[in-house]
Chain A
Amino acid sequence: MSKKQVLNGNHAAAIGALLAKPDVVAAYPITPQTPLVEYFSQYVADGVMDSTIVEPESEHSAMSVLTGASLAGARTFTATSSQGLSLMFEPYFRASTMRLPIVMNIVNREMISPQTVWGGPQDSLTVRDAGWLQIYVEDNQEILDMNIQAFKIAEHKDVLLPINICYDGFYLSHMTEGVEVPDQEDVANFIPPYKPTHVKLDPETPMAVDPLTPGDYLQYYRELHMEAMDNAKKVIKEVNDEFAAKFGRDYFGLVEPYKMEDAEYVLVTLGSLTGSARIAVDLAREKGVKVGLVKIRCLRPFPKDEIVELLRDRKAIGVIDRNVSFGWHTGIVYQEIKSATSTLEAVPTIPFVGGLGGEDLTTDLMSEAIEKVLEVADNGSIENKAYWLINTKGR
């Protein structure tokens, strides 16, 4: 029987992973991910979890310990944030190119400089091309549920890639919500055991892992890696549907459309800011504005076909980015959307940027964004440059 608990995001992630029973966990504490590591340590101390915990001396080693454990055949789990993620970039890239289905939560936090500890997905978005699957979630229930689904997706024989569950630091990590916690046995039945053969360090089946590899072989492995990314789209949807049937919660797979059936205007969102955007959409709908919302859940692989279908024949689009792409003078998701919709007849698309460094993206700001989208749909003029959503109240 499942039970309802009041959980913060880190707690939800810890319980999700606990239910998935990883063999080896290695994590180094960093704000705002720290409580997640503490929950795990306490589970082991209390004897409710029998995972092997390794306490590494850095994030670089956390990912390296898991790389080794995964190569030995272990189911593995970790979590990090911002500077920790950038410190582990070297083994991070390698985990995906070695095809190791490690599950790692990224509790999104801004990148330094300036010195900051607050939320924003600049960290994980910056490493979006490192070959990992990346799922961005909106609330604590989704954090828990995706930590269960993550193992099943990553370890699938047609995927075999590591996966990030990304959730906003503080907004989700430290905020409590009611969360339905599934029964351990149901989760055990949902996730099959991990028995790797594609890459394994075992004296009973000796093989070399990563011999010196010339480019003609490397290109073949890259091609297979990209195919696995494509396969993951199907697998994520299948696992989503299976999860929905078994546990009663549907996340719509790669993207979640909201009030899109008749929408003339669209906001595209990622992560927890979707919440205030939904309310703004509801408020605009009350005034008769036909606006809808597309929440991108899966950034890698990028759901380009779904995006094309959802954004076809709309009057104007606004992409809300809580991050920047230096050199483009926009956010990162905006660039992804522009690439995906390049086959469509040009629709005015506005690159909104705001909420950096833990700033609130309020319902008012989302309403402002919708107004701007309407304005651009009318006059058609658009500057291909960040439109800042700045919270001026109380300043």
Chain B
Amino acid sequence: MTKTEFICAVGKELNIINTGDWKMYPVVIDQEKCVKCSMCFQYCPTKSVKYVDGTYFINPDFCKGCGVCIEECRSNAIDFVKGE
């Protein structure tokens, strides 16, 4: 029996699941090629694409490596980084 501070099934602290280690390879945006179409930002299922000061980049922490951003990018600026 695991005791909690609650008398019935509730939860207050955020449960964090490390989905970042699901991916085979990291995904990066080639800033040279990026035309800022925002497709990666719009379509990333895990909201791992960030938009800061006019630039899009991928936060790898929870990225599952699904490849949607690579597929949807209008300028082929995104890819897996294989090797090393």
Contacts and interface: CB of A to CB of B under 8 A. Distances in A.
Interface in A195-239: 198-199, 206-211, 213, 216-221, 223-225, 228
B13 to A, nearest CB: 10
B11 interface: yes
A220 B10 contact: no
B1 A207 contact: no
Contacts of B12: 206-208
A213 B9 contact: yes
A210 B9 contact: yes
Nearest to B11: A208
Band of interface residues on B: 10 to 19
A145 to B, nearest CB: 29
B9 A216 contact: no
Contacts of B3: 220
A220 B11 contact: no
Interface in A115-137: none
A362 interface: no
Contacts, number: 50
B4 A99 contact: no
Interface string B2-19: 111011111110010000
A216 B10 contact: no
A199 B1 contact: no
A41 interface: no
Q: Which of B6, B7, B9 has the most CB of A within 10 A?
A: B9
A160 interface: yes
Interface in A171-202: 198-199
B2 A221 contact: no
Interface residues of A, number: 23
B8 A198 contact: yes
B17 to A, nearest CB: 12
A379 B8 CA distance: 52
B6 A198 contact: yes
A61 interface: no
Interface in B44-72: none
Contacts of B11: 207-208, 211
Contacts of A218: 9
Nearest to B3: A220
B1 A216 contact: yes
A206 to B, nearest CB: 8
Contact of B10 (A199, A219, A223, A224): A199
Nearest to A198: B7
A46 to B, nearest CB: 38
Contacts of B15: 211
Contacts of A390: none
A294 B64 CA distance: 66
A53 interface: no
A254 to B, nearest CB: 23
Contacts of B1: 216, 219-220, 223
Given A199-B10, A220-B3, 5 more contacts: A198-B10, A216-B2, A217-B9, A220-B4, A228-B7
Interface of A: 97-99, 160, 198-199, 206-211, 213, 216-221, 223-225, 228
6 contacts: A198-B7, A210-B9, A211-B9, A216-B2, A220-B1, A228-B7
